[in-house]
Amino acid sequence: MNEANPAQIASLVTWSAFALAFVFGAVGNKTNFCTMGAVSDWVNMGDKSRLRMWLLAIGVAILGANALHLAGVVDLSKSIYPGPNLMWLSYLVGGFLFGVGMTLASGCGSKTLIRIGGGNLKSVVVFIVAGIAAYMTLRGLFGAFRANVLEQAAVTLAGGQDLPSMLARAAGGDKKTWILALSLVIGGGLIAYAYAAKDFRASFDYTLGGVVTGLVVVGGWYISGRLGYIAEDPNTLQEAFVATNTGRMEAFSFIAPLAFSLEYLMLWTDKTKIITYGIASAGGVIAGSAAWALATRSFAWEGFRDAEDTASHLVGAVLMGFGGITALGCTIGQGISGFSTLALGSILTFLAIVAGAAATMKWQYWRMTREG
């Protein structure tokens, strides 16, 4: 049990989240870590290097997060991802639309924050619009469709939707054994795949981007699940994860935090509103990216090219906001943080995001050749 005062714990959690996100923002800017770019390189040029960097991050996150879990440092089952409610339609539709949106908006939630730090004004607009759309999906107009239609298509899996729990129920055996085996097979396999390519091994930036991103997610689980954990909150007499918007253990995700960041800024004088893990992490990515851009003199203002470019980014931002909330995460939230828990829903979302992005890129290429 964490014996510190809850306010002190909240400060520790948010500053730690900011620091880790700062590192991610700086490294993401330096290495051009971009999940949309990873799919684009693969689909349009057949280059899988940045895709391998993303998969390396997932592999590192799987090994690190489950090592913490098996050591008893954190309990991944207390996050939002491995719960028993498998909302398969939400994962597939939300993930696909998020993939479409991030392609139209020139990057996912994390890339939007990294671009803002580098001086991209288009990404400022994407941040605002995606944040509004995300809030509308959480508690507003879009939320009714999400809750009353998409989330109704769900399967309840007693014991959880994480692969180790599912296999332990289906094939027998101890869950911890399955966690160890699957972590080594899936996590180790993704890392091995990443380094199987000579071009990937030849670039230090690919390793830096993948390993640091994966470790940042692992660090996020430790901050929220260990430093921020209170076995018995003095106010509720129940266990609590301090300074999280969900009230549960969180790692990094960059769609809902956009909405909560806007809410915090708009309701600044409302003393019930606090800087949470997600808000601090969004600010940290921008600050880290800006620090790198300024240090390397790569900071440059960039605006919209024309009306069509503006429209594309606006539509993409709306789809990202809706899709990210509906699917319970983005390319980092579900694609790495959620994937690290070995949750089936996270894996489905990851595949749906890639499919949505790839389909949109194919459509863009078809449209370009037709107009040409």
Which pLDDT value is given to residue 2? 57
pLDDT higher than threshold 80 for residue 362: yes
Q: Is 343 helix (H, G, I), strand (E, B) or coil?
A: strand
Determine the average pLDDT of the residues in 237-265.
93
DSSP-derived secondary structure letter, 172: -
* CA dist., res. 341 & res. 266, Å (int): 34
Express as a percent the part of the chain with pLDDT over 90: 92
Determine the average pLDDT of the residues in 36-53.
96
pLDDT higher than threshold 80 for residue 360: yes
CA-based max dimension of the chain: 66
| Runs of H (alpha helix) within the chain | 6-31, 35-40, 49-70, 88-104, 109-117, 121-139, 141-148, 163-171, 175-182, 188-195, 198-202, 204-222, 256-266, 277-295, 307-326, 339-340, 344-371
- Work out the end-to-end distance of the chain between its first and last CA atoms, rounded to an integer number of angstroms: 65
HSE, side-chain direction, 13 A CA sphere, residue 177: 7
Express as a percent the part of the chain with pLDDT over 70: 98
- For residue 272, the one-letter residue type is T
Reading the block at residue 347, the tokens are 């894996």
Which pLDDT value is given to residue 368? 86
Average pLDDT score over the chain:
95
* CA dist., res. 150 & res. 163, Å (int): 23
Which pLDDT value is given to residue 237? 65
CB count in 10 Å sphere of residue 217: 29
- Enter the pTM of the model: 0.96
User: In the block, which residue shows the tokens 């990515």?
Assistant: 285
Reading the block at residue 320, the tokens are 């990202």
User: In the block, which residue shows the tokens 């449209």?
Assistant: 367
The CA-CA-CA angle for residues 80, 222, 15, to 5°, reads: 100
Rounded to whole angstroms, what are the CA distances from 37 to 51, 148, 277?
Answer: 8, 34, 27
Q: Find all residues with CB under 8 Å of 280, minimum gap 6, and list them.
A: 13, 14, 15, 17, 18, 21, 243
pLDDT higher than threshold 90 for residue 369: no
* 252-256, 324-328, 368-372: the lowest-pLDDT one: 368-372
pLDDT band of 4, cuts 50, 70, 90: low
* 62-66, 118-122, 300-304, 366-370: the lowest-pLDDT one: 366-370
Reading the block at residue 146, the tokens are 């999400």
- 328 close to 349: Cβ distance less than 8 angstroms: yes
Query: Which residues lie across from 241 on neighbouring strands?
Result: 229
Nearest C-alpha neighbor of 285 from the set 42, 96, 27: 27
- 239 close to 1: Cβ distance less than 8 angstroms: no
Query: What are 234-242's contacts with CB under 8 Å, separation 24+?
Result: 234/6, 235/6, 240/6, 241/78, 242/6, 242/9, 242/10, 242/13
Nearest C-alpha neighbor of 89 from the set 157, 149, 140, 159: 149
* CA dist., res. 370 & res. 355, Å (int): 22
Which pLDDT value is given to residue 248? 93
> Which pLDDT tens digit goes with each residue over 146-160?
999 999 999 999 899
* CA dist., res. 133 & res. 255, Å (int): 10
pLDDT band of 1, cuts 50, 70, 90: very low
User: In the block, which residue shows the tokens 């700086």?
Assistant: 26
* CA dist., res. 277 & res. 17, Å (int): 6
- 141 close to 271: Cβ distance less than 8 angstroms: no
* CA dist., res. 367 & res. 10, Å (int): 50
